[in-house]
Amino acid sequence: MNRPHMMRRDSLYINGEWVSASGDGVIEVVNPATEEVIGSVPVGSQADVDAAVTAARAAFPDWRTTTCEERIATLNALSAAIKENTEELAQTITAEVGTPIGYSRMAMVGTPRVVARSYAKMLETFEWEEEVRNSLIIKEPIGVCAFITPWNFPLHQIIGKVAPALAAGCTMVLKPSKEAPLNAFLLADIIDEMDLPDGVFNLVSGHGSDVGEYMSSHHDIDMVSFTGSTGAGVRVSQAAAHTVKRVTLELGGKSANVALDDADPQLVGKMAIGACYQNSGQTCSALTRLIIPKSMNDEVCEVISGRIARYTAGDPLDDTTRCGPMVSARQQASVSEYIQSGLDEGATLIAGGMGMPDGLESGFYVKPTVFADVTPDMAIWQEEIFGPVLVITTYESEEEALALANDSIYGLSGGVWSADVERAMAFARGMQTGQVSINGGPFNISAPFGGYKMSGNGRELGLHGLDEFLEIKSIQRPVE
């Protein structure tokens, strides 16, 4: 099978040019399926951040005054360029993250392409001003934005910030994940070939503990948008606090998938697998806690155990692979520790378990795993595992089901299954979470995405995602 060639990048993208980094060393990128180094990016420094912020600040006055038509053209051109480069982007993301190639093409590249286009469409009818009595209410771009993005959906999370920022009239500095930065450099190549003014988009790679925290605290950055772990999000908030800049956070999740007692057990069992294992379980919004009526337990577990063998783990470039590797040896070890924890705490293993999947001797793989008889005091119930591990518990009343669903420090996503859509809707209203899918309702890129509680604050995507990049000004006029 064809694999991406070695991709070594030695420059940062600042003020419309590729320039040498002033930091020391490189960050090597490892293919998690082969454990081979496939590329590297430079380690940026605080001086590089300063240069990027200076460029973004200088570009802001002109970019903020561009017309909607100009921004629409930019966003449509970005969407078209992503589409044109789909295969190279997908192959690169699969090599960096281990995502099965079909899912890379569809979700990792296809979704950001549609998101960019959606903001172009949004600008056609967006209301920038409104009158309220004697006041004119104006929406204006917030300014220079810092973006710190994760490895699990790398391009999607980048475009989910870049597209609304461009639409709003903001300028930006991006620091991509060190585990999966290569796709961000390909994006910078794409933007470099577009007619985007110098300094509007800047790219500085580096370590979160240095470059990321410095960006968060930078006095000349007006907003920081972070996606990643809850612990890292707390550090971003702390670093940003003294400048009182706007901070949006999209953090962890431990989302509940609830079957009401009139749901179809066969359908629930079948759909629960994909809802948890999407992107090999490395998804913040994965439905990792399955909550089912006690009377349904045996049938649902039987369905899941019978179908789990079809969720094949292996080479992510093989079109038949459903589950790729974990992104790193560290992540593999972390997921394995949670699986062992489930065994030690007395959960019933109905699929998977410790060790490598059958037939695999290398790569950062774990077995797609399912535990039943999980109780709320177990670590595998409470903590985000970020791997292909589904945990199942039962309930006897709908009130208990809702309490179990809300028994989490997180609140990012959720699911409800019922033969009665209105009944499911009523249950969904009681869930303390940012989004809920009823009977497998598909993801909507025009709806806001974000969480309650320790899953973060602020929203991405749709009109609500655009509003995050806007300040609101009220101008009071004399009353005649």
Closest listed residue to residue 325, CA positions, set 2, 30, 1, 8: 30
From the candidates 170, 276, 284, 323, give the one annotated as an active-site residue: 284
CA 10 to chain CA centroid, nearest Å: 27
Q: Is 193 an annotated catalytic residue?
A: no
Q: Specify whether the CB–CB gap between 15 and 51 falls below 8 A.
A: yes
Closest listed residue to residue 393, CA positions, set 380, 384, 383, 412: 380
Beginning with the edge strand found earlier in the chain, give each strand of the sheet holding 470-476 in spatial order: 129-132, 135-141, 470-476
What is the Cα–Cα distance from 353 to 375, expressed in whole angstroms?
Answer: 18
From the candidates 96, 179, 250, 468, give the one annotated as an active-site residue: 250
Q: Specify whether the CB–CB gap between 422 and 402 falls below 8 A.
A: no
| Site of tokens 């998101």 | 115
What is the Cα–Cα distance from 373 to 393, expressed in whole angstroms?
Answer: 5
Burial class (CB in 10 A: 0-12, 13-18, 19+), 85: middle
Q: Is 250 an annotated catalytic residue?
A: yes
Active-site residues, by number, are 250, 284
